[in-house]
Chains A and B, each alone.
Chain A
Amino acid sequence: MGDLTRLVFKRLGLGLGTILVVSVLIFFAVELLPGDIAEAVLGQGATEETVTAMREQLGLDRPAFVRYFEWLGGAVTGDFGVSLVSGERVSDAISDRFVNTLFLASYAAVIAVPISILLGVFTALYRNTIFDRVANVMTLTTISSPEFFLGYVLILFLAVRATMFPAISSLSGDMGLLELLHRAFLPMLTLVLVVTAHMMRMTRAAIINLLASPYIEMARLKGTPPWKVIVKHALPNAWAPIINVVALNLAYLITGVVLVEVVFVYPGIGQLLVDAVAKRDFPVVQACCLIFAATFILLNLAADVGAILTNPRLRHPK
């Protein structure tokens, strides 16, 4: 087991390193601005004094790498500085919205994961039948549609023509859980459609790959009933790819959420990011990017670690 923990820790360290490199990238990308933040935000019309005042306020007179370590130190403790536009603390603006985004993503995940794994296994078992072909065309169509297309189609049919769900998901803290679930239903459904399509295809590919292996053939030849081949022989080896698929798609969910939040005016962190980009509010942009990137990397990391834990062959890299 010592070997295994060392491998997992090595992988974790690599992930942490990636997050660090990405944070460097996010911080120093802003330094690439022609001029500096103060000039970019205040624009051409600003007087020399206001620019100098802003520089002093932001501490731009100090070297970039000193500011980077301050920023990183703040980010680790949840302090992302002050918004350039509203003057509000960035962490205050983010915290509630981050919870909302997590709520939406996990709502979608809880529904999408079981459905897509089941459907994926079914399409793999009944591959090349009409059911599989129809599923293939439908998932391809869903993947190819931009998220906002699916979102607006759902709004048109489920919110405008049949007034079952609200088109705009305004949430507030004092709502009951059922009310929250109802309001967030359409954005959730949009995400579920996209993620399910991805996950189904990947699960199908993984299972088909598995069913082509010789030991499954052997099990079939010795007369094992089909359900037993699946449950006893295929499934134990299928966990690794399935866990991988789930984690990768959850990572996808985190970014797909941006467009969906804008379509449904959902008060999440994606909406905040898009607003901040339009207003060039750099501290907010940096904070949101760092959060999204870190979540993305962590989920990918989880996929890797899950694969290592469930597939002994990966423990001995060539």
Chain B
Amino acid sequence: MSSFVIIYYTALIAASCLAAYYKQRNVFMLLFSLTLVSFVLGIIGGAGALRFVATASFILALAAGTSYAFREFLILISKPGLAKELRTAPLTAAFGMFVIFTYAIAGIFAPWIAPHGEAEIIGQAFAPPDENMLLGADQLGRDMFSRIIYGARNSVGLALVATLLAFFMGALAGLLAAVKGGWFDQLMGRVADVIMSIPSLIFALLMLSIFGTGLHVIVVVVAIIYSPRVFRLTRAVAGNIVVMDYIEAAKLRGEKDWYLIRREILPNATAPLIAEFGLEFCFVFLLIAGLSFLGLGIQPPTADWGSMVRENATLISFGDITPLIPAAAIALLTVAVNFVVDWMLFRTSGLKEQ
């Protein structure tokens, strides 16, 4: 029984007792179940497994602390109205906002943060980490850490552009279909049905095999694949709005379609559309990452997370985790966006389960 094990259990049990004493039921349940899980894992896996559990829970606690601090920070710097909304945000949403914020910083200031250029060869292939290269070198001897930072700009930027285009096309078609109705509505609906009846990855592969893998091709293809989702949502939301009396009144005033869309419908449809934008971004981001991973996305030497995983995958068979870092970066951003979207959906729907 090492001192680590003793300190670990003492701390856990002490914390559980404190939580129980101050009637913090949820905290107590969490801490005590962690203790019980540690007992079981400790018996099966010994001190090694225990160390793993301890590290994992420490990271979780750190993330929770960061999110809490970040939420308080946001509440302090924002206007009263917004601050009140932010106060209702769960920790997961605050965590999501923190991660998105970090990625934005990394993407915007990439050339200043990254110690080396994205295509600069500075060492041996697969060189191990040293003080010059934080995460070692990739398969051509480029600095892994710098490439990950630049990847935030390239991968996220491309996904963002594609999402914006998909959103623009889908929302415009949806609004026009709702306002015009008739054959236009029918036609758009059928087109959306056909596009959605082909699996997205398969459709993307088909299109990329035909038009090659240029950046603009990827953006357009991905936008076309995902715009029907936006179309359907916008059509449904706007469909509920166009039957309102104030729309009728505006029509009687002789307003044009474009005015109706811009001044009457859009302001009432923003909340679900913003949430959909977040979800859509996740889908687009994962699809582009998948395409890059298959070697059909952003082409080298541009740093991109999906292709970095593929290029360095051989390292995994030597038990090295570096190739997983870009993949984890993809997962982390998607999780973060999902957390924020979850909170926004919950807030706008006013849904309280029980």
Contacts and interface: CB of A to CB of B under 8 A. Distances in A.
Contacts of B11: none
20 contacts: A22-B194, A25-B198, A29-B206, A32-B210, A130-B26, A137-B92, A143-B338, A144-B338, A146-B306, A148-B327, A149-B330, A152-B316, A153-B324, A160-B318, A259-B293, A277-B294, A286-B206, A296-B198, A296-B199, A297-B197
Nearest to A276: B209
8 closest A-B pairs by CB: A144-B334, A149-B327, A255-B199, A145-B331, A277-B209, A144-B335, A292-B202, A293-B198
B295 to A, nearest CB: 7
Contacts of B33: 130
A86 to B, nearest CB: 16
Given A22-B194, A32-B210, A149-B328, 13 more contacts: A127-B353, A128-B353, A144-B286, A145-B327, A148-B290, A149-B327, A160-B319, A255-B200, A258-B202, A262-B294, A274-B294, A296-B197, A296-B199
Contact of B282 (A21, A29, A144, A208): A144
B197 A300 contact: yes
Contacts, number: 138
Interface centre among B194, B327, B354 (most CB of A within 10 A): B327
A210 interface: no
A161 interface: yes
Interface size band for A = 35 or more
Interface in B194-232: 194, 197-203, 205-211
B264 interface: no
Given A255-B202, A273-B205, A156 B321 contact: yes
Given A128-B353, A292-B202, A280 B194 contact: no
**Secondary structure class of chain A's binding surface, majority of residues:** helix
Contacts of A286: 206
Interface centre among A18, A128, A208 (most CB of B within 10 A): A18
A141 B323 CA distance: 19
Contacts of A29: 206-207, 210
A175 interface: no
Contacts of A208: 353
B105 interface: no
Interface string A107-150: 00000000000000000000110100000010011011111110
Interface in B310-327: 313, 316-319, 321, 323-324, 327
A282 interface: yes
Nearest to A293: B198
B289 interface: yes
A278 interface: yes
Interface residues of B, number: 50
B199 A146 contact: no
Given A130-B26, A140-B342, A160-B319, A152 B202 contact: no
Contacts of B194: 18, 21-22, 25
A278 B213 CA distance: 10
Given A29-B206, A285-B206, A293 B199 contact: yes
A146 B293 contact: yes
Contacts of A280: 209
Contact of B319 (A25, A156, A277): A156
Interface string A280-318: 101001101100110011001000000000000000000
Contacts of A153: 324
Contacts of A293: 197-199, 202
B313 A152 contact: yes
